[in-house]
Amino acid sequence: MTKSISRPRWTGYRIKIEPRLDQPPGWYPAAVSVGAIAFALILGGILIAIAGGDPFLSYAHIARASFGEIGVFSDTIVKATPIILAALACSVAFRMKLWNIGAEGQFIMGAFGASAIVLTPILPPETTPWLFIPVMAMAGMAAGAVWGFIPGYLKAKYNVNEIISTLMLNYIAIAWVNYWIFGVWTEGGFQMSAKFPETTWLPRLSDYASTIPILRGLTTHLGLLLGIVAAVALWFVVFRSRWGYEIRLIGDNPRAAQYAGINIARNTVLVMALSGALAGLGGMSEVTGVIHRLQTAPLAAGYGFTGIIVAWLAKLNPLVIILVSILFGALILAGREIQPSGVPKMIQGIILVSLIASDFLLRYRVRFVRDSADTDAEE
């Protein structure tokens, strides 16, 4: 089972790739990931230099624009918040090998569900935030859960491919919200609803600036806390609960799960609904924490798709998702600072490919061997 890549004879060496038969030490995966990011940044730097830029200046600028001071760091966090929740949504579905690529649509439906509480209106505008926010969070999660339940049920009952159904439901979600903001809740014919009353807004750090002056201008909102609480809760569900054990078992070997008496169809539906609910909470957080009105364009900004990438990079670990989301929030924010499109997106892509490719080093061992040695190891 040994593959070898022959090198030209004059090098005298050959690269040998062998599958790992033992478990690498605990620090190894983290070290490989850090190495991969470093490699990506170096490669990105070379490309920036070729494009005529100064890589050191560019990177310094990116760092300053996303982590440089507390104000921009707060903006990074605001960008990261919806990504955290979308990535959590993807991670739980992916854990069971359910390829939910509909977090985008579930996110939008979550925003719609939360908005419906304000716009219908189900609760009057003067309701206290203490009631408003929990009700909207529930409505957002419920709407997202419905959007996850549909493909989950179709998969469990009729074996409908969830990749296709979740992808298509994304478009339906956008069209659905468009219908409401164009036709029913339109603000003077514009494609957006009226601004929500302030009682519905998620509290921001800047709201407390009158007592703690340092918080002035900081837009980080309660959504971050929702994201962190959801991540910790999800970690416990996946790694410490009976249900999470079933999810992990189905994900690793559905036949073994069946053999252990686990109902796969029921878990398919439940996990898809949970996934949708998490994405829906993300939509609720974004609409009540940042946008403050129902509007398609800023909601359908690709958070659900970024969530797919972040979930993979975090190896589906809910706690790691928080860190990776902040990194992605920074790249989105800083990217706009240096160039509207192009280089920052490219660096994102290089980091992504490097991290995914580095997984190879966890499963295989690469060795350099002398050409003369072990020729007999060949067949």
Q: Is 190 in a helix, a strand, or coil?
A: strand
Segment contacting another protein by CB under 8 A, of 48-56, 105-113, 226-234, 254-262: 254-262
Task: Confirm or reject binding of residue 363 to another protein (CB under 8 A).
Answer: no
Closest to another protein by CB, 184 or 377: 377
Closest to another protein by CB, 8 or 261: 261
The residue from 24, 209, 225, 248 that contacts another protein (CB under 8 A) is: 248
Residues 297 and 180: their CA atoms lie apart, in Å, by 14
The residue from 7, 253, 265, 360 that contacts another protein (CB under 8 A) is: 253
Contacts (CB under 8 A) with another protein, residues 263-322: 263
Task: Confirm or reject binding of residue 240 to another protein (CB under 8 A).
Answer: yes
The residue from 5, 9, 22, 210 that contacts another protein (CB under 8 A) is: 22
Question: Which residues have C-beta within 8 Å of that of residue 87, sequence separation ≥ 6?
Answer: 306, 307, 308, 310, 311, 314, 321, 324, 325
Task: Confirm or reject binding of residue 375 to another protein (CB under 8 A).
Answer: no
For β-strands 3-5 and 364-370, DSSP reports them as unpaired
Task: Confirm or reject binding of residue 261 to another protein (CB under 8 A).
Answer: yes
Residues 264 and 156: their CA atoms lie apart, in Å, by 8
Closest to another protein by CB, 18 or 198: 18
Conformational region of residue 217, where left means phi above 0, alpha means psi within -120 to 50, and beta covers everything else: left
Question: Which residues have C-beta within 8 Å of that of residue 46, sequence separation ≥ 6?
Answer: 55
Which of 166, 167, 269, 287 is CA-nearest to residue 226?
287
Task: Confirm or reject binding of residue 252 to another protein (CB under 8 A).
Answer: yes
Closest to another protein by CB, 26 or 213: 26
What is the closest distance, in whole angstroms, from the C-beta atom of residue 50 to another protein in the complex? Answer: 41
Segment contacting another protein by CB under 8 A, of 2-10, 108-116, 251-259, 332-340: 251-259
Alpha carbons within 13 angstroms on the beta-carbon side of residue 343 total 24
